[in-house]
Each structure stands twice: as structure tokens, then as C-alpha cells.
């Protein structure tokens, strides 16, 4: 299977690009924050450095897990037809799993050296900034150790192999032709998935209550953890939530479409999205993640700044929060771009079909643009839904009022950025996907 | 009259005298489907693709399955081939009830006994022609018999393209590679879903002759879904489906008789 994995990687390197970036990020952040912790433990820093490295590392690893699982799922989906072919040629489910595992192994090993280098460089830069802000003892230097890079690769491999189990479930469960059909048609939302989603929501309730009764620093950490949990619930329930969200947001477009007859771009887009709630939900999840986690973070930070006695909340603390926010946003952006590119490219035949039935390129692009805008708005809506409960719980704990201080200067650009990223990614990918002659795209598999 | 005169002249019924007349170590498998039903969706929206099909495919015979689109012919092929799961009913390959097997056991059985040819997209794009032909052997962990790969490619007239990747071959050539793969593993049963659907006439005839030869010389069982009367006339028997049920079963019909049946069922 290692040989097959090699052949696949060599023939279609582009389809592994998203996965490679996600795995690179995972190796990078573990190496970076691992180096800081090792430096602190080795006497090169102090307790605070170990704490900063640990806290950052924790969040980074959770995000890495999410993004790797997300990108791997798309990489497997892109190979769906080849996997069916392998199965009809006699590959067992175990062999298919092994093939995907070997792909993950190869890509991880490939991105490890650059991940180590970038992680090491990042650690030195980060420590220098910390020293400059008096968050680490003066003169502290990153101590070299083989463990952080090794841990980076090992943990990333573990995460990737774990994610493989989830990603291949569809490709090897059931008979091969059914597996192939699932990639083409709209899948049903499993009741198990819905039930799990409700259970996770149930699980956040005690966490909410707990958050309101904790000291500030604990509550802040809990709030972030809680919104990750909310995010998981939204991820599970997204296929159910996606349709009403788009129906609501798409209303203006449908009305506009009804008035300008013959245009149809907007109404077409709204119908397209509503009719394909499953695909839409895959696009919503990373956007909601990006917006939800960052907003929670910004709200917690904003509320903290509000209640802290003057001077106690130093500029350096604000800087730390900013870095953490940037990291969250970075991971979210990688997941968003990867998901949208995969979804848009996968619809190449659909665009070709529209073109053959008389849609102009302009109409196509307008449809894509409207779809992307609607998708982004629905994602933002879900993201704010994710952020709300934990931000409110934290505000109750900090100020006793249910109104968190939401710093608009950081949340505003985030939301706008998420929308812009979505629309730009879809339009750029769409331009490339519709560049080849329609007949060729409709005929080639 | 000798019994061979019953057979139309277009395919020789007796084995090639040049071939050794030893007993075939891998005789064709008999297939049997009983009361096969397959529906998609539930409740009032359910679509019934198969509504209780009983059909057998005798060992070493070539059967064409025909019918208007939506008649359930591809669904029947996929259920009989173990590539789709029926809603109810059973499928036997020889004495084995494949509908009762877990996916892993079925995968091993497929690997050992069955070959598949689809209308298009039969080949792994990342692999060379040669690697595609030996793919089942590699999956089975068998040693790859290079001479046999070369022979299979020679039989389909592609010996000189063995290092090429599928992307550089024409549709007809790609389909012949798929046939070569089936020749190489010597499956006891071959399932083909519109194998000539995407091919020009000459390439189509070439593929059909290769399928026919497998039945003649190796006693392979072959089941082929097609909508082309000419393709179906290569078979020993044509089964017609309409609305998820078998409506006609003809032995050695001519292309004209097949066309007549098709136009009749279309009305």
C-alpha cells in the first residue's frame, strides 16, 4: 500500500496540498510551543514561560486536530472514485484504510523538516518578543532539544492516524457502489449524528454553569473550552441547521431575483444551497469555527480588560491575547480555504452542465459569488451562535452582567475577513474551475 | 445435423483446436438471484428499482441484460455483483450466498473470482497501463507474473503502451486495458456495465470479441448490461427488464429480434 500511496502522491500532488498545509501547521506549532516549554523546564526561562507555552500549545493542538481531520476528510472524498475502483479490484476495507494511513504518513514525513525549521524559528522569534515585553527573563534563549520536533511529528502522526479512522468510514462502510453513490448524491443526516449533537449541547450546560462560578482566569480558559464544545455540537448538527439558516438569509436574494426576471443568479444560488444542505454544511463548519472561536476569545479578552483594575491588565497581556487570536484565526483560515477549494473544484461538472444549458460565464460567476456570500453569512451566524453562550457565561462570572464587552475593533475585521476570505476563495477557484471548455469538463470524470 | 450448427457462425462454439483440451481449473461460476428487491428512499417517496427479480446465469454463459433506462438493469448487475446491497432477496455465487457475507469476506471473494468493467473510468490514473493490469494481483499480495501481464496486453493489442498512463490513451484503449486486467486475473465471472457505451464502433466490437473469447475458451460466466442490440447479439441469452422486473428472456436472439423486443417494450 505504501507504493500505491507514493504513486497517488506523485500523480496528483495538488489534491494533497490542503492536507499537507494542515499537517505542516500541526508539526510547526507543536515544535514551537514544545521548544518554549522545554526551554522553561531546562532553566532557560521561568514558570510563566512554561505556562504560556503550555496554554498556547493546548489550544494549538486542539485546533490542529480539527483542521487535520477536516482536510483529511476532503482528501479522502476526492479519491472516492479511485477507492471504489480499488475495491472492485479486490481491495479489502483494511487495505483501503492502510492506503490512507500511508498517505498521511508520507505527507507528514514530507512536511516535518520544514515544520521543524519553521517551528524552531518561530520559537526564537516568539521568545524574543516575550523577553522584549518582560514576559520572560531577560537574555532567555531557546534551548535546542530533539524532543519538541520529534514530538511534533509523532503527535501529528497520531492525530492523522486517528482522523483516518473517521475519514474512511464512509469510503469503506457498506458495498462499493453505495460508497460511490454517497459522494455523488445528497447523504442523509444520520440520527446518530443528530443525537450526538444534542448530547454535546447537553454537555455544555454544566460547563456554562461552572464558568459563571469560577475565578476569572479559570473562567476564561473554561469559556474557550466551552465554545470548542459548542463548535463540535454545531459541526454535528450543521446539516440540520444549514437549511433554515440559508432559507432565512436567502430571502432577500429570492425576492430580488423575482423582481429582475431573466437574471436568476441570486435565486439560483439560494435554491442551489438549500437543495444541497449537506455540502453547504461542510462549507459552514470552518467559517463558523473561525468566527466562533475568535469572537469568544475577543469577548473574553474585552470583558477582562473592562473589569481589570487599571494597570493590572498590562499591554503585554493584550499582546499575548492578540497572538493567540491570530493563531486561532490562522488555523480557521486554513480550514476554510481548504474546504471551499475542495467543494468548488468538486462541482466542476455541475458548472460545465450549467454552461452547456446556456448559462454565461458571468451568470455562473454571479451565482458563485452569491452562493459564497450567503454561505459566509450563514457561517458567521452559526459562529456567533457558538460564541454567545460562553461569552455570556464569562461575562456573568466577571461582571455579573449578561452583556459581554465585545471589542468591535477586533471582532468587526474578523467577521469581514471571514466573509471576504470565503467569497474570494470561491471566486478564484471558480474562475479556474470554469476556465476549461465546458464540454471537456462535462465529459471527463 | 451436428449440434454445432445451432450456433450462429459469428462465434465458433468449439474450442480452438490449438488450445490444450485439459479440464479448466477455474470454471465459470453459476449465479442465482432470488426475489431480489432494491428500493431507494423510504415511505411514499421510495423508488423501487427492482421489484422481485428471479434470474440465474449458468456457468460459462454470456448473458446480456437489457431494458429501457430506469428499468433497473444496472441495479440488478450491481446487486448480483455484490457492489450494492439489496433491500431483500438473496444472491448466490455457486453455493455461496454472497448477500450474507460481511464486506471483508466479499472483498476477498471478489478478488478471487470476479472481474468488473464499467462504462468509463476503469483505471487508476496514477498508475501505468502495466500497473493497472497487475493491480488485482498486487492487492491480493500475489507475485506479479510479468509474462502474463505482457500476454494480456498483447491480446488486447496494447503491448507497446504498457508504460503509458491512462490519461494518454483513447477511450477505446483505456477500455481494452480494463479488459486486459480481467484477462490477467482469469476471473470465473465477469460483470460489465455498458462496456461499449463510450466507445466507437470498431473499439466496441473489439472489446465484445474479447469478452466472447473469455466465455468460449475459458468457460467464464459473463453478465453484461447494454442498450446496444449489436452488443447484446454477442451473448448467448438476453434478459429484458422493465420497471424492475424480468419481462422477456431470449436464447440466442438476432440483433433484429433484440431491436424488435426493445421497440416493443418502449411502446
What's the ipTM? 0.71
Which chain A residues are closer than 8 Å to B103 by Cβ?
92-93, 172-175
Q: Find the mean pLDDT for residues B115-127.
A: 81
Q: Give A352 to chain B, closest Cα distance, Å.
A: 19
Closest by Cβ to B83, choosing from A93, A175, A445: A175
Closest by Cβ to A93, choosing from B104, B111, B123: B104
Closest by Cβ to B83, choosing from A8, A95, A177: A177
Higher model confidence: residue B166 or residue A308?
Answer: B166
User: Residue A294's pLDDT is what?
Assistant: 87
User: Residue A425's pLDDT is what?
Assistant: 93
Q: Find the mean pLDDT for residues A188-208.
A: 81
Highest mean pLDDT among A257-261, B216-220, B258-262, B263-267: B216-220
The lowest-confidence range among A137-146, A238-247, B178-187, B220-229 is: A238-247
Hey, is the C-beta of A399 within 8 angstroms of any chain B C-beta? no
User: Residue A182's pLDDT is what?
Assistant: 46
B239, B243, B247, B252 alpha-carbon torsion, rounded to 10°: -20
Q: Give B81 to chain A, closest Cα distance, Å.
A: 10
User: Residue A328's pLDDT is what?
Assistant: 84
User: Residue A281's pLDDT is what?
Assistant: 79
| pLDDT exceeds 60 at position B98 | yes
Q: Find the mean pLDDT for residues B144-169.
A: 89
Beta pairing class for B245-251 and B62-66 = unpaired
CB contact under 8 A, B139 and A11: no
What is the C-alpha separation between A299 and A211, in angstroms, rounded? 14
Domain B30-266: homologous superfamily in CATH: P-loop containing nucleotide triphosphate hydrolases (3.40.50.300)
Q: How much of chain B exceeds pLDDT 90, in percent?
A: 40
Closest by Cβ to B127, choosing from A7, A87, A445: A7
Q: Give B108 to chain A, closest Cα distance, Å.
A: 6
The lowest-confidence range among A82-96, A353-367, B31-45, B147-161 is: A353-367
| pLDDT exceeds 90 at position A113 | yes
User: Residue B119's pLDDT is what?
Assistant: 79
Closest by Cβ to A90, choosing from B84, B124, B139: B139
Higher model confidence: residue A374 or residue A260?
Answer: A374
CB contact under 8 A, A176 and B124: no
CB contact under 8 A, B85 and A95: no
CB contact under 8 A, B103 and A177: no
CB contact under 8 A, B112 and A90: yes
What share of residues in chain B are helix, strand, coil (percent, to 5)?
40, 25, 40
User: Residue A18's pLDDT is what?
Assistant: 86
CB contact under 8 A, A445 and B121: yes
| pLDDT exceeds 50 at position B15 | no
| pLDDT exceeds 90 at position A222 | no
Closest CA to A124 of A35, A28, A34: A35
Residues of B with CB under 8 A from a CB of A: 78, 82-85, 103-104, 106-108, 110-112, 116, 120-127, 131, 135-136, 138-140, 165, 181
Let me know: does A151 contact A30? Beta carbons within 8 Å. Answer: yes
User: Residue A78's pLDDT is what?
Assistant: 80
Q: Give A354 to chain B, closest Cα distance, Å.
A: 22
Record the cell numbers describing residue A328, joined without a space.
486561532
| pLDDT exceeds 60 at position B3 | no
Helical H runs in A79-146?
80-88, 93-132
| pLDDT exceeds 90 at position A23 | yes
Which chain B residues are closer than 8 Å to A440 by Cβ?
none
Mean pLDDT score of chain A, rounded to an integer? Answer: 82
| pLDDT exceeds 70 at position B16 | no
Best residue of B117, B126, B127, B137 to probe chain A, by most A CBs closer than 10 Å: B126
User: Residue B234's pLDDT is what?
Assistant: 94
Record the cell numbers describing residue A417, joined without a space.
475577513
CB contact under 8 A, B84 and A177: yes
Kindly identify which residue of chain B lies nearest to residue A9, measuring between CA atoms.
Answer: B126
B211, B213, B218, B224 alpha-carbon torsion, rounded to 10°: 20
Closest by Cβ to A11, choosing from B107, B116, B125: B125
Let me know: does A260 contact A191? Beta carbons within 8 Å. Answer: no
User: Residue A445's pLDDT is what?
Assistant: 43
Best residue of B125, B131, B171, B197 to probe chain A, by most A CBs closer than 10 Å: B125
User: Residue A441's pLDDT is what?
Assistant: 55
Hey, is the C-beta of A86 within 8 angstroms of any chain B C-beta? yes
pLDDT-derived band of residue B143, with 50, 70 and 90 as boundaries? confident
Best residue of A8, A78, A90 to probe chain B, by most B CBs closer than 10 Å: A90
CB contact under 8 A, B83 and A81: no
Q: Using one digit for the tens of pLDDT, what is the confidence trace for B188-207? A: 999 999 888 888 888 889 88
Which chain B residues are closer than 8 Å to A176 by Cβ?
83
Record the cell numbers describing residue A171, joined without a space.
469510503
User: Residue A262's pLDDT is what?
Assistant: 46
Which chain B residues are closer than 8 Å to A2 by Cβ?
none
pLDDT-derived band of residue B61, with 50, 70 and 90 as boundaries? very high
Let me know: does B49 contact B244? Beta carbons within 8 Å. Answer: yes
User: Residue B51's pLDDT is what?
Assistant: 93
Which chain A residues are closer than 8 Å to B108 by Cβ?
90, 92
Residue ranges per domain, chain B? 30-266
Mean pLDDT score of chain B, rounded to an integer? Answer: 85
What is the C-alpha separation between A13 and A103, in angstroms, rounded? 11
Record the cell numbers describing residue B167, joined without a space.
490519461
From the number of C-beta atoms within 10 Å of its C-beta (0-12, 13-18, 19+), residue A22 rates as buried
Higher model confidence: residue A188 or residue A198?
Answer: A198
Let me know: does A264 contact A228? Beta carbons within 8 Å. Answer: no
Amino acid at each position: 500500500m505504501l507504493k500505491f500511496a507514493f504513486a497517488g502522491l506523485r500523480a496528483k500532488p495538488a489534491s494533497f496540498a490542503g492536507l499537507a498545509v494542515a499537517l505542516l501547521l500541526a508539526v510547526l506549532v507543536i515544535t514551537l510551543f514544545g521548544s518554549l516549554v522545554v526551554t522553561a523546564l531546562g532553566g532557560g526561562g521561568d514558570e510563566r514561560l512554561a505556562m504560556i507555552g503550555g496554554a498556547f500549545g493546548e489550544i494549538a493542538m486542539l485546533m490542529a486536530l480539527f483542521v487535520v481531520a477536516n482536510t483529511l476528510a476532503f482528501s479522502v472524498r476526492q479519491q472516492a472514485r479511485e477507492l471504489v475502483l480499488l475495491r472492485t479490484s479486490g481491495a479489502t476495507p483494511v487495505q483501503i484504510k492502510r492506503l490512507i494511513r500511508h498517505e498521511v504518513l508520507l505527507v507528514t514525513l514530507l512536511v516535518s523538516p520544514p515544520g521543524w525549521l519553521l517551528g524552531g524559528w518561530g520559537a526564537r522569534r516568539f521568545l524574543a518578543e516575550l523577553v522584549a515585553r518582560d514576559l520572560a527573563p531577560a537574555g532567555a534563549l531557546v534551548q535546542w532539544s530533539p524532543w519538541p520536533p520529534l514530538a511534533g511529528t509523532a503527535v501529528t502522526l497520531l492525530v492523522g492516524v486517528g482522523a483516518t479512522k473517521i475519514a474512511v468510514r464512509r469510503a469503506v462502510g457498506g458495498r462499493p457502489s453505495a460508497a460511490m453513490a454517497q459522494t455523488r448524491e445528497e447523504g442523509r443526516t444520520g440520527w446518530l449524528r443528530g443525537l450526538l449533537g444534542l448530547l454535546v449541547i447537553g454537555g455544555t450546560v454544566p460547563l456554562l454553569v461552572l464558568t459563571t462560578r469560577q475565578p476569572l482566569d479559570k473562567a476564561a480558559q473554561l469559556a474557550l473550552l466551552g465554545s470548542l464544545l459548542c463548535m463540535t455540537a454545531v459541526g454535528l448538527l450543521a446539516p440540520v441547521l444549514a437549511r433554515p439558516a440559508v432559507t432565512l438569509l436567502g430571502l432577500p436574494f429570492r425576492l430580488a431575483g423575482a423582481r429582475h426576471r431573466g437574471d436568476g443568479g441570486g435565486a439560483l444560488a439560494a435554491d442551489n444551497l438549500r437543495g444541497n444542505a449537506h455540502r453547504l454544511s461542510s462549507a459552514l463548519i470552518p467559517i463558523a469555527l473561525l468566527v466562533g472561536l475568535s469572537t469568544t476569545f475577543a469577548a473574553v479578552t474585552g470583558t477582562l480588560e473592562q473589569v481589570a483594575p487599571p494597570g493590572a491588565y498590562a499591554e503585554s497581556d493584550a499582546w499575548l491575547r492578540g497572538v493567540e487570536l491570530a493563531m486561532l484565526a490562522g488555523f480557521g483560515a486554513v480550514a476554510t480555504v481548504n474546504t471551499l477549494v475542495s467543494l468548488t473544484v468538486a462541482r466542476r461538472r455541475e458548472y460545465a452542465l450549467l454552461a452547456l444549458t446556456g448559462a454565461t460565464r458571468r451568470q455562473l460567476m454571479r451565482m458563485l459569488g452569491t452562493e459564497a456570500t450567503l454561505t459566509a453569512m450563514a457561517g458567521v451566524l452559526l459562529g456567533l451562535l457558538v460564541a454567545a453562550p460562553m461569552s455570556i457565561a464569562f461575562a456573568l462570572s466577571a461582571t455579573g452582567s449578561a452583556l459581554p464587552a465585545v471589542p468591535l475593533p477586533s471582532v468587526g475585521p474578523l467577521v469581514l475577513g471571514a466573509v471576504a476570505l470565503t467569497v474570494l476563495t470561491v471566486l478564484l477557484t471558480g474562475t479556474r474551475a470554469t476556465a476549461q471548455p465546458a464540454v471537456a469538463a462535462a465529459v471527463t470524470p | 445435423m451436428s449440434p454445432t450448427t445451432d450456433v450462429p457462425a459469428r462465434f465458433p462454439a468449439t474450442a480452438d483446436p490449438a488450445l490444450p483440451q485439459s479440464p479448466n481449473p477455474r470454471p465459470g461460476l453459476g449465479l442465482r438471484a432470488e426475489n431480489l428487491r432494491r428500493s431507494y428512499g423510504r415511505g411514499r417517496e421510495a423508488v423501487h428499482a427492482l421489484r422481485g427479480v428471479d434470474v440465474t446465469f449458468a456457468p460459462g454463459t454470456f448473458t446480456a441484460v437489457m431494458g429501457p433506462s430506469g428499468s433497473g438493469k444496472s441495479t440488478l448487475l450491481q446487486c448480483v455483483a455484490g457492489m450494492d446491497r439489496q433491500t431483500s432477496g438473496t444472491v448466490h455465487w455457486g453455493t455461496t450466498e454472497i448477500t450474507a457475507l460481511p464486506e471483508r469476506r466479499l472483498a476477498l471473494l471478489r478478488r478471487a473470482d470476479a472481474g468488473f468493467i464499467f462504462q468509463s473510468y476503469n483505471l487508476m490514473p496514477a498508475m501505468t497501463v502495466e500497473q493497472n493490469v497487475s493491480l488485482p494481483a498486487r492487492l491480493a499480495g500475489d507475485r506479479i507474473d510479468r509474462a502474463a501481464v505482457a500476454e494480456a496486453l498483447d491480446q488486447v493489442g496494447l503491448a507497446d503502451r504498457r508504460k503509458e498512463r491512462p490519461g494518454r490513451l483513447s477511450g477505446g484503449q483505456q477500455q481494452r486495458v480494463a479488459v486486459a486486467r480481467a484477462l490477467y486475473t482469469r476471473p470465473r465471472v465477469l460483470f460489465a456495465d455498458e462496456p461499449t457505451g463510450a466507445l466507437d464502433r470498431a473499439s466496441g466490437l473489439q472489446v465484445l470479441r474479447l469478452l466472447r473469447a473469455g466465455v468460449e475458451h475459458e468457460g467464464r460466466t459473463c453478465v453484461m448490461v447494454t442498450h446496444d442490440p449489436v452488443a447484446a447479439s454477442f451473448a448467448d441469452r438476453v434478459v429484458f427488464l422493465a420497471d424492475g422486473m424480468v419481462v422477456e428472456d431470449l436464447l440466442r436472439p438476432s440483433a433484429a429480434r433484440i431491436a424488435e423486443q426493445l421497440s416493443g417494450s418502449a411502446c
